[in-house]
Structure 1
Amino acid sequence: MDIRSLRYFLMVADQGGFTAAAEQLHIAQPAVSMAIRKLEQTLDLPLFNRHERRVTLTDEGEVLARHARLILQAVADAEREVRELHALERGEVRIGIPSMLGSYYFPPILMAFRHRYPGVRLEVIEAGTRKIQTMIHRGDIDMGVIVTDTPPTDLETHRFLQDQMMAILPADHALAKADTISYDAFFAEELVLFKEGYFHREVIDRISEEVGVTPNIGFETNLIPLIKQIVAHDYGITTLLKMVVADDPALVAVPFTVPVWLDLSLAWRKGHRLSRANQTFVDLVLEQAPASHSR
């Protein structure tokens, strides 16, 4: 059993097929099939159920997959740490950030880090908070930004921002000059929302369930500029962090009568030692964090 075989094995498991795995690995499909066959012969166990269109893991394959992910992540961690010198002349930071924060909060931090440590490679992945947690567990990224109103027990989390979700309305909307907006008034409007899996959407789903209403969703998109245009042209309203519309005179941010506060944190696998590059990035994010607001 070698590292390459385990990597091929996990790619087949994740892609659900040998051909798709070969495409992702940029190698010929027979090479993948041969590696898996040798792995099964070495273990004297079937690792996949071969169906006509898709392969799935056997019970033995599920066990191996769990250990293989840990092994490959440990190897990747060791390689990164060995490559990094005492000074941050080299290294890599792989971070998942939801689009709202990636577009309006993190750019100055990312540029400041790049300016201080030009030899460190930054890889920023845009995704919803649920997918980010999955990617952290799988080792696809080193850390990510998640909502931690209820901190996950299997992740190390450090809060860097507490901010309020606001109702976003066109400037000429009847409620634009209101001090606050009730949930009933908000849900009476046609809504423009992110797709499921993003904290923006989870906030709305949670509140609608609490008040017992079904949101009237007119548009679903993760494109923030499109959301802002739709709201500005009075085709619906939405909810975003105030920073997203701070410089847009066509839009107004109104707090909810019952405030909706979010705790946003950097997260990584619990018990995982961050590389020097990653720890330095975490330190910079926490250093730049604004003072917490009181709820």
Structure 2
Amino acid sequence: MTVKQLRAFVAVAKTRSFTEACSQIHISQPALSVAIKNLEDALGGPLLSRTTRTLALTPEGEAFLPTAQRLLAELDEALEEMHNRFALFRGKVAIAAMPFFASSCLPDVLLKFRAHHPHINLTVHDVIAEDVIDMVRTGRVEVGIAFDPGEAEDLVFQKLYTDRFMAVIPRQHALNTKAEITGADILPNDFIVLQRPSSVRLLVDARLEQEGLHISPQLETHQLTTIGQMVSKGLGISIMPSLCEAQMLELGAVCKPLSSPVISHDVGIITRRRYPLSTAAREMIINLQGLKLDVLQC
């Protein structure tokens, strides 16, 4: 049974005329006759009763007509749905992004995306970098924004920019007079960090140790925002990605360039290797890549 055969049968059943049915579905009368005959053979008996003057449905044809109409309607709906998805008139994209990216740069990307594709449903998960990678890896989201996960056979990383880390200090602190902060400047102060196994924490620890600086944290937490609040209250000093600067300033902390050691990490788009992306997800990635030149100013 084929779609062509179903359309031929429904057209004849509705018009009760081979001539009108041919005109309606744009095929020749011999082709229409063959389509009806093949459908009847597939089903096992006649659907139409033909005489020289009349054309009617057999009882079996009457019983089959609603089914044929439903199948064609469902097919048309499916075709329209897929057309809308490929044309970005409909669909959805799930994204996971590190909180400081999700709250600073991502809204601009989403605003531009929604302006051109208002009917695409967007879901954003703002989670730590490790969870971003896990959500992409397990297929819970199509697109992730996080630090470079390193060598991973199942993931693809597309670099957006390199984030150089900064020192975050309380507003009323003696280090505010310095243009740059060093690890040695931080050493005598209470140090606030993310809890392990955060990739930010691991990177900061590794770079400090490479410089021979063994700084024991006095306070640890799960969220960079919480660290910013602690710093702004004068509880200590921290090191965090520069993309957090606007958020830290809003919380009342002061941000200074960090030197010796210089700490940096690539930030980019993470997707699953060997899994094709939806049209909407590909369009979202194009929008993210378009932010490349502006990202350090967001």
Distance in 2 (alpha carbons) for counterparts of 1:292 and 1:96: 17
Distance in 2 (alpha carbons) for counterparts of 1:264 and 1:182: 23
What is the identity, as a one-letter code, of the residue corresponding to 1:189?
Answer: N
Following superposition, the deviation at residue 112 of structure 1 comes to 2.2
Do 2:194 and 2:220's aligned partners in 1 also have CA atoms closer than 8 Å?
Answer: yes
Following superposition, the deviation at residue 189 of structure 1 comes to 2.2
Distance in 2 (alpha carbons) for counterparts of 1:121 and 1:83: 16
Match of 1:282 in 2: 285
Question: Following TM superposition, where does structure 1 have runs of at least 4 consecutive aligned residues deviating by more than 6 angstroms?
Answer: none
Match of 1:147 in 2: 147
What is the identity, as a one-letter code, of the residue corresponding to 2:126?
Answer: E
- 1:269 correspondence with 2:241: no
* SS of residue paired to 2:181: coil
Match of 1:24 in 2: none
Match of 1:125 in 2: 125
Once structures 1 and 2 are overlaid, which stretch shifts more, 277-286 or 225-234? 225-234
Once structures 1 and 2 are overlaid, which stretch shifts more, 261-270 or 226-235? 226-235
What is the identity, as a one-letter code, of the residue corresponding to 2:233?
Answer: H
Following superposition, the deviation at residue 216 of structure 1 comes to 2.9
Match of 1:231 in 2: 231
- 1:99 correspondence with 2:99: yes
- Residues 216-258 of structure 1 show CA distances to partners (whole Å, capped at 9, x for unaligned) of 3233334444322211121011122334333449422222223
C-alpha RMSD of matched pairs (Å): 2.6
Distance in 2 (alpha carbons) for counterparts of 1:149 and 1:155: 8
Distance in 2 (alpha carbons) for counterparts of 1:110 and 1:177: 38
- Residues 118-163 of structure 1 show CA distances to partners (whole Å, capped at 9, x for unaligned) of 2111111122222222221211111211212845343111111222
Distance in 1 (alpha carbons) for counterparts of 2:194 and 2:94: 24
Once structures 1 and 2 are overlaid, which stretch shifts more, 229-238 or 197-206? 197-206
Do 1:149 and 1:262's aligned partners in 2 also have CA atoms closer than 8 Å?
Answer: no
Distance in 2 (alpha carbons) for counterparts of 1:161 and 1:145: 11
Do 1:96 and 1:132's aligned partners in 2 also have CA atoms closer than 8 Å?
Answer: yes
Following superposition, the deviation at residue 174 of structure 1 comes to 1.6
Do 1:193 and 1:220's aligned partners in 2 also have CA atoms closer than 8 Å?
Answer: yes
Q: Residues 187 and 125 from structure 1, CA distance in 2 versus in 1: closer, same or farther, beyond 3 angstroms?
A: farther
Number of aligned positions between the proteins: 213
Q: Residues 224 and 122 from structure 1, CA distance in 2 versus in 1: closer, same or farther, beyond 3 angstroms?
A: same
Following superposition, the deviation at residue 115 of structure 1 comes to 2.7
Q: TM-score by structure 1 length?
A: 0.64
Do 1:98 and 1:198's aligned partners in 2 also have CA atoms closer than 8 Å?
Answer: no
Following superposition, the deviation at residue 197 of structure 1 comes to 4.1
Q: Percent identity?
A: 22
Q: Residues 86 and 139 from structure 1, CA distance in 2 versus in 1: closer, same or farther, beyond 3 angstroms?
A: closer
Distance in 2 (alpha carbons) for counterparts of 1:270 and 1:197: 25
What is the identity, as a one-letter code, of the residue corresponding to 2:88?
Answer: L
Q: Residues 87 and 98 from structure 1, CA distance in 2 versus in 1: closer, same or farther, beyond 3 angstroms?
A: same
- 1:174 correspondence with 2:177: no
* SS of residue paired to 1:280: helix
* SS of residue paired to 1:271: coil
Following superposition, the deviation at residue 283 of structure 1 comes to 0.1
Match of 2:263 in 1: 260
Greater Rg, structure 1 or structure 2? 2
What is the identity, as a one-letter code, of the residue corresponding to 2:272?
Answer: R
Do 1:97 and 1:125's aligned partners in 2 also have CA atoms closer than 8 Å?
Answer: yes
Unaligned runs of at least 5 residues, structure 2: 1-80
Q: TM-score by structure 2 length?
A: 0.63
- Residues 50-101 of structure 1 show CA distances to partners (whole Å, capped at 9, x for unaligned) of xxxxxxxxxxxxxxxxxxxxxxxxxxxxxxx958533101111111111111
Q: Residues 249 and 178 from structure 1, CA distance in 2 versus in 1: closer, same or farther, beyond 3 angstroms?
A: farther
Distance in 2 (alpha carbons) for counterparts of 1:169 and 1:145: 27
Match of 2:159 in 1: 159
